[in-house]
A and B are shown apart, each in its own frame.
Chain A
Amino acid sequence: MFNKLIENSTAKSPWLYHMNTGSCNGCDIEIVAALTPHFDAERFGCKLAGTPRHADIILITGPVTEQSKDRLIRTLEQVPEPYVVMAVGSCPNSCNVFKDSYSVAGPLEKYCHVDVSVSGCACKPEAIMLGVVKATEILKEKRRAMKK
């Protein structure tokens, strides 16, 4: 019974970890805006975690630059299973205008499976909130699949 209680409560409180892989800061600001009382993504139980080791949902912004590539891989290795990767903005999804640049090693799909894509340049906080809600559902399914 106790285990079930933990399971239910974790499903309703996904912790977010925000990672910038060379973003212009546009989407980062929108993520922060989504957590403020005006939009209030925390209604869904989200909390911004300080370390990837506590995180359930990883929000990635930026087109994955050469400099941040190794850090991205290292960070994702530290996240406990199961976790959901969310690509926020056009950059991690496709590198946007930075396609074929010498210093860009993206898109994000090359390095991990992207579960939820949110597009926009920069995306609206509402879209990020919808993405987080969708990610929570995927997280639930992943947890169930792991139990079996």
Chain B
Amino acid sequence: MSFSFPYLKYALGNLTKKTSCDMYPLKKKEVAPGYRGAIAYDPNKCVNCGMCMKVCSPGAITRTEVEKDGGKEITYRFDWTSCTFCGMCHDFCDEKAITMTDHYEMVGNAEDLVTVATYFKKTPAGKLTVSDDCVFCGLCAKNCPESAITVDRANKSWTVDEEKCVKCGKCISKCPKKALAFAKPQVKCGDDCVFCGLCAKNCPEEAITVDRPNKSWSVDPEKCVLCGKCVSKCPKKTLCI
């Protein structure tokens, strides 16, 4: 009877060799270039266009808006446990507010695996307007630091010089009848419009309709979120907020 140890040579040889294992938790591993890990979100760059939510196939991105004084508090929530890490939100974000990091250690309770960030978006002030409640007392004109308002009590006329107005809001706070307000701003189209439809194509809320044969351009103020995407995409630079 004879014993043979065919692998003895290898077994003894491997004893002195280094391990082929990565020893992962002890040694951190670098990811390959271009790896798409957890989402990072910069609220300071975001313009709240909502394009990321539109292109997200698993619906991992949710937005909550809370109306506050003079604007909105906007919170974006990116759920890693719902994400497919396709990177579409990053590709479609014009402001580059969304980036894919190399963070892959996404382990824990499902509630903790999220990116949440909040920012405050001020509603841009529109033209100063006056309602029918005006009694032409002239307090607004008196308090205007730029003398932009002229009130003619005798003729019952109230005018504002838009060039001079700095939208400080002093007149609004002084008005005894609370007749003054800033109008909600709107996207406006100038005369240079060629009805190319690029603004409508890039609108994340589909608020703009362009009818090329009839040469008509319209915006739905209810849908518009004033993200300014159309303004930046207009080839004739004829749009403004």
Whether B106 lies near A94 (C-beta < 8 A) is no
Q: How far is the CA of A121 from the CA of B80 in the complex (A)?
A: 10
Question: Of A43, A95, A119, which contacts B21 at CB under 8 A?
Answer: A43
Known: A90-B82, A93-B81, A119-B81. A130 touches B110 (CB 8 A): no
* In the complex, residue of chain B having the shortest beta-carbon distance to the beta carbon of A40: B21
Task: Count residues of A near B (Cβ-Cβ below 8 Å).
Answer: 30
A123 touches B25 (CB 8 A): no
A129 interfacial contact with B, CB 8 Å: yes
Does B108 count as interface, using CB distance less than 8 angstroms?
yes
Knowing A121-B83, A126-B104 are in contact, say whether A93-B110 is a contact too (CB < 8 A). yes
Query: Is the beta-carbon distance between A120 and B85 smaller than 8 angstroms?
Result: yes
Q: Verify B83–A124 contact, CB threshold 8 A.
A: no
A-B contact count (CB 8 A): 83
Question: What are the interface flags for B41-68 relative to A under an 8 Å C-beta threshold, 1 for contact and 0 otherwise?
Answer: 0000000000000000111100000000
A75 vs B104: C-alpha distance when bound (angstroms): 30
When distances are taken between beta carbons in the complex, the residues of chain A under 8 Å from B82 are 90, 93-94, 96, 99
Q: Does A48 contact B (CB under 8 A)?
A: no
Assess the A131–B107 pair: CB atoms within 8 A: yes
Contact in complex: A99, B58 (CB < 8 Å):
yes
A117 at interface, CB cutoff 8 A: yes
Could you say which of A97, A129, A134 contacts B108, with CB atoms under 8 Å apart?
A: A134
Given A97-B57, A120-B85, A121-B84, the answer on whether A114 and B110 have CB atoms closer than 8 Å is yes
Is the C-beta of A74 less than 8 angstroms from some C-beta in chain B? Answer: no
Q: Report yes or no: A117 in contact with B110, Cβ–Cβ below 8 A.
A: yes
Complex Cα spacing A43 to B18, Å:
15
* Residues 23-49 of chain A, each 1 if its beta carbon lies under 8 Å from chain B, else 0: 000000000000001111001000000
User: Are the C-beta atoms of B58 and A119 separated by less than 8 Å?
Assistant: no
Give the CA-CA distance A29 to B104 in the complex, in Å.
17
The CA-CA distance from A43 to B113 in the complex, in Å, is: 27
Contact of A127 among B22, B57, B59, B105 (CB under 8 A): B105
Q: Is the interface of B mostly helix, strand, loop or mixed?
A: loop
Total interface residues on B, using CB and 8 Å?
Answer: 26
A117 touches B58 (CB 8 A): no
B:11-34 near A, CB below 8 Å: 20-22, 24-25, 29, 31
Closest beta carbon of chain A to B158's beta carbon, Å:
55
- Kindly state the separation between the CA atoms of A13 and B191 in the bound complex, as whole angstroms: 76
A118 on interface, CB distance cutoff 8 Å: yes
The reply on A11 being an interface residue by CB < 8 A is no
Minimum CB–CB distance from A24 to chain B (whole Å) comes to: 11
Contact A127 to B107, CB < 8 A, known contacts A117-B81, A119-B80, A119-B83 = yes
Known: A90-B58, A94-B82. 20 other contacts (CB 8 A): A37-B20, A37-B21, A38-B20, A38-B21, A38-B22, A40-B21, A93-B113, A94-B60, A94-B110, A96-B84, A99-B59, A117-B110, A119-B107, A120-B104, A121-B85, A124-B104, A127-B104, A129-B24, A131-B107, A134-B107
Residues of A within 8 A of B (CB): 37-40, 43, 87, 90, 93-97, 99, 109, 114, 116-121, 123-124, 126-127, 129-131, 133-134
A-B contact pairs, 22 of them (CB 8 A): A38-B20, A38-B21, A39-B24, A40-B21, A40-B22, A43-B21, A90-B83, A93-B113, A94-B110, A99-B58, A118-B107, A119-B107, A121-B84, A124-B31, A126-B29, A126-B104, A127-B104, A127-B105, A127-B107, A130-B25, A130-B105, A133-B25
